[in-house]
Structure 1
Amino acid sequence: MTDIVLGVGASHSTLMNTHWEETVHKDEAGRFRDALYAARDELAAARPDTVVIVGSNHFRGFWLDLIPSFTIGVGECVASGESGTPKGPQPVDEDLARHIAGTLVDGGRFDVAFSARLQIDHGQSHAIQYLLDGLDVEIVPIVVNVFAPPLPALARCDALGGAIRDAIAAFPGDRRVAVIGSGGLSHRLPWPDWRSPDGEDEEFMVRAWLDGRHNWQDYDARRRQIIRAAQAAINPEFDDELLTMVEKGELHRITAYTTERLEEVAGNGAQEVRTWLVMAAALGHAPGRRLAYEVIPEWLTGMGVAVIDPAPHGKVSR
């Protein structure tokens, strides 16, 4: 029998790699990093064969010429390697990935996109770098559109997680599977609505998102300058509410937010909590544990880590 043995939700920031020394809130940054390592140890203890990584796209894997709501990597997977994150081919559990994609489509629950040659960015590779360090596992990469409206409704992300859970349970054999949701929490990026850019910087960003498929690196230096010049907009109250939902097994309540309300309260970067929602739903919304929450303005983000163990009393079955 194929079982989901652990879930992890974790924020990501490439500024961990590129601007650690310039980070003023070193204690907070250290506690967050330690929580990533603690989650990594829990993943190791759960002994997964495969890790489903649900992450976002930062216009280095998908561009405005084609933006599916949900995409499953079912073949080759290459990490773009920006900002010191892993680069190059990643090992994919093709059998499980194709089973999940086929089950979702054949069952009529989701017409997901799939890619036999998927490029991922730090929306997945940040988790590979910190949460899968030293683990001999294959992955199933799943990309959720969180930055190019119209975005999939939060309720659809919740339903997708449940459908993935059912598909994994139906997979023949005895795979042990973990699920990671990578992204969030509250933050605001200086990224426009692509449909109505305002000013030179926003027009540049939209052009990079439209034309970057073959030369995204050419746009990266200015992109980073625009991001580094942004002011932090973190909402610790929202982040605490979300993490409390995770702890209580009630993250499905976040579906009460519309896309517009979520951005108003927690910033456009908070749209990444869709990845946590897919993960939590795949874990059957079992109660979780908060490992860390830190406000790190230099990274523009409220940084959280949580673990969901579906086994009774929080113990991984052996």
Structure 2
Amino acid sequence: MADLIGGIGTSHVPAIGAAIDHGKTGESYWKPLFDGVEPARAWIAEHKPDVCIVVYNDHASQFDLSLIPTFALGMGATFDIHDEGYGPRPVPQVHGDPDFAWHLAESLILDEFDMTLVTDMTVDHGLTVPLSLAYGQPDAWPCKVIPLCVNVIQYPPPTGNRCFQLGRALRRAIDSYDKDIKVAIFGTGGMSHQLQGERAGLTNREYDLQWLDQFVSDPATLLNIGHTEYLRETGSEGIELVMWLIMRGAMNERVRELHRFHHIPVSNTAYGLLVLEND
């Protein structure tokens, strides 16, 4: 049977990908960040998941205002790297797991989640930066990847509660898969950051750390946080944190926190990282 071995929450700041791609990870600005990520990379190297489900948001790359799925599941055998305006990142093509993806789709839809199923899609930094943080610069990604794309760009995004409940349904789907594979789930995005307007560059360390405490020990307290609170406390892009709740919903009620890291600034944002195992 499929086994959910752990969950990783991580920001997916595009500048992190650029630092990796251009060999800047050892520079004084970037070294503290990559030192803080190293325990997560070591965990991945030790446990070697066969499949990573990466919950992320597209940044008007694959999806634009002509098509805005709330939850989109990547069903393909391969996913090309999107050109976000400066050429595709020099990272390996992402390989999917169509058999597992179709199992997840059937289970989620029969569990009353209306997923958009996408057989041909590109993936942008929202998905590739977490993979680079976990695996560095391999010639090929050492796992299969199922993209789970969430709309947090065009209002209205899904609520935290809806995301958490999707995570629970995803766990039921994983547990019912009859192949012996090890699965890791990534919740990506956030933490506090705003990229435009009068509050561009906003970060909120105190709120981020409090949110992480609740996320680990009492996630129910986060499920009814409204969009307005995220906007006020974490900036216009902080709503991405709801995607972490899909990961948390997939994990057991009680988890072990193996690693936590929070760092400001990363570009003009706050970076957050968690590694969790089921208790």
TM-score range, shorter chain: 0.7 to 0.9
Task: Say if 2:93 is the partner of 1:89.
Answer: yes
- How far apart are residue 119 of structure 1 and its match? 1.6
Instruction: Tell me, yes or no, if the aligned pair for 2:199 and 2:235 is still in contact at 8 Å.
Output: no
State the alpha-carbon separation in 2 of the partners of residues 106 and 269 from structure 1.
Answer: 32
- How far apart are residue 290 of structure 1 and its match? 4.0
State the alpha-carbon separation in 1 of the partners of residues 75 and 128 from structure 2.
Answer: 17
Task: Say if 2:9 is the partner of 1:9.
Answer: yes
Instruction: Tell me, yes or no, if the aligned pair for 1:53 and 1:140 is still in contact at 8 Å.
Output: yes
- Number of the residue aligned with 1:315: none
Instruction: Tell me, yes or no, if the aligned pair for 1:53 and 1:182 is still in contact at 8 Å.
Output: yes
- After superposition, the CA RMSD in angstroms is 2.4
Task: Say if 2:210 is the partner of 1:246.
Answer: no
Runs of 4+ aligned structure 1 residues displaced above 6 Å come to none
State the alpha-carbon separation in 2 of the partners of residues 65 and 275 from structure 1.
Answer: 22
TM-score, normalization by structure 1: 0.78
**1:119-134 equivalence runs, <5 A:** 119-133=122-136, 134=138
Q: Which runs of 5+ in 1 are unaligned?
A: 192-228, 313-318
- Number of the residue aligned with 1:262: 230
Among all aligned residue pairs of Structure 1 and Structure 2, give the percentage whose two residues are the same amino acid. Answer: 26
- Number of the residue aligned with 1:61: 62
- Number of the residue aligned with 1:115: 118
Instruction: Tell me, yes or no, if the aligned pair for 1:144 and 1:274 is still in contact at 8 Å.
Output: no
- How far apart are residue 300 of structure 1 and its match? 1.7
TM-score, normalization by structure 2: 0.88
**Secondary structure of 1:184 counterpart:** coil
State the alpha-carbon separation in 2 of the partners of residues 122 and 115 from structure 1.
Answer: 18
| Length, aligned pairs only | 268
Gap change, CA 1:18 and 1:90, over 3 Å in 2: closer
Q: Which runs of 5+ in 2 are unaligned?
A: none
More helix by share: 1
Instruction: Choose 121-130 or 35-44, whichever is displaced more.
Output: 35-44
**Secondary structure of 2:130 counterpart:** helix
1:6-36 deviation digits (Å, cap 9, x = unpaired) = 1111112122344699x9xx75742222233
State the alpha-carbon separation in 1 of the partners of residues 213 and 30 from structure 2.
Answer: 21
- Number of the residue aligned with 1:79: 81
State the alpha-carbon separation in 2 of the partners of residues 17 and 90 from structure 1.
Answer: 15
Instruction: Tell me, yes or no, if the aligned pair for 1:32 and 1:305 is still in contact at 8 Å.
Output: no
- How far apart are residue 47 of structure 1 and its match? 2.1
State the alpha-carbon separation in 1 of the partners of residues 166 and 91 from structure 2.
Answer: 28
